[in-house]
Amino acid sequence: MERIRKHVECLALLACLLMILLLNGTAKEPITSSLAIPEENMLTVYTSHKEEVYGPIIKEFEERTGIWVQVEAGGTNELLERIAAEAAEGEGTQGDIMFGGGVDSLSVYSSYFQSYTSTQVQKLNPDYIDEESKWTSLSSLPIVFIYNNKLVYSAGTPRSWEELLDQRWKGKIAFADPRKSGTSFTALSTMLQILGEDSMEPFTDNLDGHISEDSGAVLDEVISGTRLIGITLEETALKRIAAGADIGMVYPKEGTSAVPDGCAILAGATHQKNAELFLEFTISEDVQQYLAQECYRRPVRTDIQTKGRQAFAEITYDIDWTGKRQKALLKEWEACVR
Partner 1 sequence: MRQMIKKSFKREILLCFVILALLPLLLSNSFLIQVFKTSVARDEERRAYEQIEKVESKLLSLFQEFDRISAAMSKNELIIDGITETDGWIRNKIYTELYSETSSLRELAQFSIYDGEGNCRFFTDQVILDHIPTYWGTMKVAKAHAGEVVIRNVTEYTVSNDLILQSVRSIYDASDECVGYLVMDMSSDNFERLLQSTFETQSELTIVDNFWEEVYSTETARKEGVASILRERRMAGEAISQQSDAIRFFMKPVGDTGLFVVLGRTPVFTDAITRQMFFIMLVLAGITLVLCLILAEFMSVNLSRPIQKMTRAMSEAENGNLNARIETRRVDEFGELSRNFNRMTSQLKSYMELQVRQQKELNDANISMMQAQLNPHFLYNTLDTMKWVAKVNHIPELATMSSSLAKILRTSISEHKFIPLEEELQLVESYVEIQKIRFFGNFTFDMEVPMELEECIVPKLIVQPIVENAILHGLEGKADGHIFLNALEKNGILQIEVSDDGCGMAPEITERLNSRDRDQLKGHLGFYNVDTIISLYYGAEYGVHAENLQTGGTKVTITLPVRRTNEKQ
Give the residue with the Cβ less far from partner 1, 33 or 111: 33
Query: Which of 8, 14, 40, 52 touches partner 1 (CB under 8 A)?
Result: 52
Yes or no: say if 116 and 198 are a contact pair by the CB < 8 Å rule: no
Yes or no: say if 262 and 103 are a contact pair by the CB < 8 Å rule: yes
Separation between Cα atoms, residue 240 and residue 183, nearest integer Å: 16
Nearest of 213, 229, 144 to residue 181 by alpha carbon: 213
Task: State yes or no: residue 293 binds partner 1 (CB under 8 A).
Answer: yes
Task: State yes or no: residue 289 binds partner 1 (CB under 8 A).
Answer: yes
DSSP character for 30? P
Give the residue with the Cβ less far from partner 1, 29 or 198: 29
Helix (H, G, I), strand (E, B) or coil at 319: helix
Task: State yes or no: residue 68 binds partner 1 (CB under 8 A).
Answer: yes
Yes or no: say if 296 and 235 are a contact pair by the CB < 8 Å rule: yes
- Least Å distance between CB 121 and partner 1? 22
Nearest of 126, 130, 128 to residue 116 by alpha carbon: 130
Task: State yes or no: residue 18 binds partner 1 (CB under 8 A).
Answer: no
- Least Å distance between CB 210 and partner 1? 30
For residue 334, the number of C-alpha atoms closer than 13 Å in the C-beta half-sphere is: 8
Q: How many residues does the chain have?
A: 338
Task: State yes or no: residue 335 binds partner 1 (CB under 8 A).
Answer: no
Binding mask 228-267 for partner 1 (x = CB under 8 A): ---------------x------------------------
Query: Which of 185, 290, 317, 333 touches partner 1 (CB under 8 A)?
Result: 290
Query: Which of 7, 59, 168, 331 touches partner 1 (CB under 8 A)?
Result: 59
Interacting span for partner 1 (CB under 8 A) from 61-69, 182-190, 298-306, 329-337: 61-69
Separation between Cα atoms, residue 47 and residue 79, nearest integer Å: 8
Interacting span for partner 1 (CB under 8 A) from 160-168, 178-186, 258-266, 286-294: 286-294
DSSP H or E run through 18:
helix 2-24
Task: State yes or no: residue 23 binds partner 1 (CB under 8 A).
Answer: yes
Partners of 212 in beta bridges: 176
Separation between Cα atoms, residue 259 and residue 137, nearest integer Å: 9
Give the residue with the Cβ less far from partner 1, 56 or 323: 56
Task: State yes or no: residue 35 binds partner 1 (CB under 8 A).
Answer: yes
Query: Which of 51, 127, 213, 334 touches partner 1 (CB under 8 A)?
Result: 51
Interacting span for partner 1 (CB under 8 A) from 59-67, 94-102, 116-124, 201-209: 59-67
Q: Where are the alpha helices (DSSP H) in 208-318?
A: 215-224, 234-242, 272-282, 285-294
Separation between Cα atoms, residue 220 and residue 222, nearest integer Å: 6
Which stretches of the chain bind partner 1, using CB under 8 A? Answer: 16, 19-20, 23-24, 26, 28-31, 35-37, 42, 51-52, 55-56, 59-60, 62-63, 68, 70, 243, 286, 289-290, 293-294
